[in-house]
Chains A and B, each alone.
Chain A
Amino acid sequence: MATEPTTTPQTLTSELALQMYEQMRRIRSFEERVNDLYRSAKMPGLAHLYIGEEAVAVGVCSALHRDDYITSTHRGHGHCLAKGASIERMFCELLGKEAGYCHGKGGSMHIADHEHGNLGANAIVGGSTGIATGAAFSAKSRRTGQVAVCFFGEGALGQGVLYEVMNMASLWQLPVIYVCEQNFYNEYTHYSETTAGEVAARPAAFGIPEEEVDGQDVRAVFDAACRAVERARSGGGPAFLTCATYRFHGHHVGDIDRGYYRSKDEEEQWRRRDPVEILAAWLVDRGIADRSKLERVDENLAAEIAAAADAALEAPYPDPREVNEHVYA
C-alpha cells in the first residue's frame, strides 16, 4: 500500500525512509512495465516516463496528508502513485480500460484520483497551476488545514498563467507549494535556451520563498517539503521548491535517439545519481536495511506490478456508448 501519513511527519523515521524506498521502487517498476507495454504495442497513445525523478514526487508527497491536494503534469505517473493511487487502476487507465481512474477516457496524461487529493495530471503544460491555486484558496477560506502542491516542469515557466496565479497566491497568502521539477529540458530544447535569468528570481519577484533542492536525494526533498508544508499549513503562505533532477529516458517512450539534444556523457553522469540507489545506499549505510531486505522489497513489488499489469491487460474496455455520457451534470 502507498504511504498515507495522517499527520505531517517532521522527522524522517526509519520506517518512513523504508516506505519512501518502496514507493520510489514502485514508481520505477511500474514505469519499466509501462515502457515494455508501449514498446510491445500493447499500449497506444503517449507515455512520458518519470524514471530518474522519483525522489521529487515521493519526497514531497511523503510530507502531505491524504486529503492534501496535488496537481500533476504530462509526466504524472510518479505523482499519482506517490499520492496513493493504486497500480492496478493506473495500469487500467493507461490501457484505456473501464476500471481505470477515468474509466479509460483520460489515459496516461489525465489521471485524476479525487480520493487521494490528486486533482489530476494535465496534458497542457502549465495547465494545472490555476487548479492548485484555486484548491489552496478553498483550503484557506474554509480553514481546512489542507495544502495544495502544484508539480510542473521548468518548461511551464514559459506559460503566463503561472505568474498570474503566483501573484494571487502571494497576495492572498494561499497554502500552495509550487514544485518545479527542473530536469533541464523542455522536450528537445535545453532550458537555458528557453528560460531567461534565474528560476529563483521568479518566485522572489512575488515575495514567495524559494528553496533549491537536490531532487535526486529524497531526504533533502522531504525536508524542504516539510518546511514549506508546515509554513503553508500554519498560515505562512505559498512556497516554491526547485528540485534539480533528470529524466533518465526520452521525453516520451518513442524518444530514443537523443544524441542531437543531449549527450550520452551527460546521461551517464546523471544515471550515477540514481535517486533509488542513493536512498538504498543510505539505508544500508545507516543499518536501517541490508541489501537482502531491499531485494525482498524489490521482489515483492515485481510480483505486485506483474499481477496488476496482467489483471489490467485482461480487464474490459469501456462501452463505446461512454462517448456521449457524462458531458453535463
Chain B
Amino acid sequence: MAELTLVEAINDAFHTELGRDESVLVMGEDVGRAGGVFRATAGLRDKFGADRCVDTPLAEAGILGAAVGLCMAGWRPVCEMQYDAFSYPCLDQLITHVGRYRWRTRGGMGFPLVVRMPYGGGVRAPELHDDSPEAYYAHTPGVKVAIPSTPADAKGLLAAAIRDPDPVIVLEPKLHYRTMRGEVPAGEHVVPLGEARLAREGDDATIVAYGSMVPVAERAAEALEGEASIEVLDIRTLKPLDEGALLASAGKTGRVVIVQEAPRTAGYGAELAAILAEKAMLDLRAPVIRVTGYDVPYPYWQIEDAYMPSVERVVAAVRKTLEF
C-alpha cells in the first residue's frame, strides 16, 4: 500500500497494466513527452517507448477512429481526452462505430478500448473545461461507463477497464486529481466493473452518488449525524449498474436521494430514479429526490458554487425525504 493522489493512482495503473500486457497502448495529445496535461501518463514513454505511449495530432475524432482499427488488429488502446468537453469530437466515432460493431458482427469483433478523461467542475476553470458528460456515454449502447471517487478505485477501475473486452469510458474527477490522497494497493489492483461500493453504512436514508459527488454525499451524511443515520452508496460503474446494491440499500432505508453534478434533464440520476420506481416501489417510504446541476452550460467560476450540488442542498433533500 502506498498513499497516492488520485492522478498518481491512475499513473500507477498505467505502469502496471502496460507492464503486464504488451497489447495495451496509450494515445492522446501531449501524453508522451509531456506526460499528459495532468501528468496521468508521466514516465510511460520513457519506460515503454513512443509506440506504446503515442503523442497524437490534435484530433479527437481521429484518435478514437484509429483506436477502433487498432482494436480490430488486436490492440487494447487507451485514449486520453485532455478535458471532458474535448471528447465531443470523438463521440461521433463512439456512437457510429464502437457501440455497434460487436453487435453487428455477432461478437466477431471486439473493442477492448478505453477512453478516459478528467471531468467535472469545482476547479475554477473556464467553460468547456468542467462538463459532466456521463449521460451521453451511458446512453450509447455497447459502451460501459465507470467513474471512480477514490485513488484506489481510480487505479482499480482503470485496470478493469483496460482488461475488459468491451469499450469503457472512464471519467476521472479532476477536482480530486491532486487534492485527494488515499491508500492504493501496489502492483496489480482491479476493481471489477459493475460493483458498487458502500461508502458509509446507515439505516434511515441512502444518498446515491458517483465521482466527485461522493465526498459531497459523505459530508452531508456527517452533517446529519445525530439527526439521522445515512448510508452513502458510491455506484462507481454507471454501466453496467450494480442494481442489486442500489435496490438493497433502498430496501434497507426506504429513502433515497440521488446526487449528480451534470445538468438535470435526462441525466444519469433520472435512470437511477426510474429503476427505483420500477423495482423498489413497495420499499420506498418517500419519493426519490434528485440533487443535480441545472439545465445550463457549466457556468464560469464565480458562479459555479451556485451550480454545483452543495452539502447544504443534499442535506435539505435528505431532510425532505425524512420528513415526508
Contact = CB atoms under 8 A, between A and B. Distances in A.
A108 B126 contact: yes
A44 B58 contact: no
B30 A323 contact: no
Contact of A44 (B34, B89, B124): B124
B34 A188 contact: yes
B95 to A, nearest CB: 16
- Determine which residue in B59, B89, B127, B302 has the highest number of CB atoms from chain A within 10 A of its CB, and name it: B302
A327 B302 contact: no
Nearest to B128: A123
A105 B306 CA distance: 13
Nearest to A96: B302
Contact of B306 (A158, A188, A260, A323): A323
Nearest to A161: B89
B296 interface: yes
B266 interface: no
Contacts of B300: 45, 96, 104-107
Interface in A95-126: 96, 104-110, 123-126
A321 to B, nearest CB: 8
Nearest to A126: B58
A67 to B, nearest CB: 27
Contacts of A261: 33-34
A14 interface: no
Contact of A323 (B128, B296, B301): B296
Contacts of A110: 126-128
B34 A187 contact: yes
B244 interface: no
Given A96-B301, A318-B303, A323-B296, A186 B58 contact: yes
Nearest to B61: A160
A106 B58 CA distance: 23
B126 A187 contact: no
A158 B62 contact: yes
Contacts of A195: 57
A155 B58 contact: yes
Contacts of B32: 189
A299 interface: no
A189 B34 contact: yes
Contacts of B33: 188-189, 260-261
Contacts of A189: 29-30, 32-34, 55
- Determine which residue in B32, B57, B296 has the highest number of CB atoms from chain A within 10 A of its CB, and name it: B57
A159 B127 contact: no
Contacts of A186: 29-30, 57-58
A156 interface: yes
A317 interface: yes
B129 A125 contact: no
A320 B126 contact: no
Q: Is the interface of A mostly helix, strand, loop or mixed?
A: loop
A130 B89 CA distance: 14
A107 B129 CA distance: 12
A99 to B, nearest CB: 13
Contacts of A160: 59, 61-62, 89
Contacts of B30: 186-189
A263 interface: no
B203 interface: no
A158 B129 contact: no
A323 B299 contact: yes
Contacts of A194: 55-58
B177 interface: no
Contact of A123 (B89, B129, B295, B302): B129
A159 B89 CA distance: 9
B57 A158 contact: yes
Contacts of A201: none
A158 B86 CA distance: 13
Interface string A187-205: 1110001110000000000
B111 interface: no
Interface in B136-191: none
B275 to A, nearest CB: 28
A324 B301 CA distance: 15
Contacts of B223: none
Interface string B276-302: 000000000000000000111101111
B274 interface: no
B273 interface: no
Contacts of A322: 299, 303
A124 B86 contact: yes
A12 interface: no
Given A123-B129, A159-B58, A45 B301 contact: yes
B302 A187 contact: no
B71 interface: no
A187 B125 CA distance: 17
Given A186-B58, A188-B33, A106 B129 contact: no
Contact of B302 (A106, A318, A321): A318
A261 B32 CA distance: 11
A46 interface: yes
Given A96-B300, A261-B34, A320 B306 contact: yes
Given A186-B29, A317-B303, 11 more contacts: A45-B125, A45-B300, A104-B303, A107-B300, A109-B127, A123-B126, A124-B128, A158-B62, A194-B55, A323-B296, A323-B299
Interface of A: 44-46, 96, 104-110, 123-126, 155-161, 186-189, 193-195, 260-261, 317-318, 320-324, 327
7 contacts: A44-B124, A107-B127, A156-B58, A159-B58, A187-B37, A317-B302, A323-B299
Interface of B: 29-30, 32-34, 37, 55-59, 61-62, 85-86, 88-89, 124-129, 294-297, 299-303, 305-307
For the complex of A and B, the 3 pairs showing the least CB-CB separation, nearest first, are A158-B57, A158-B58, A320-B306
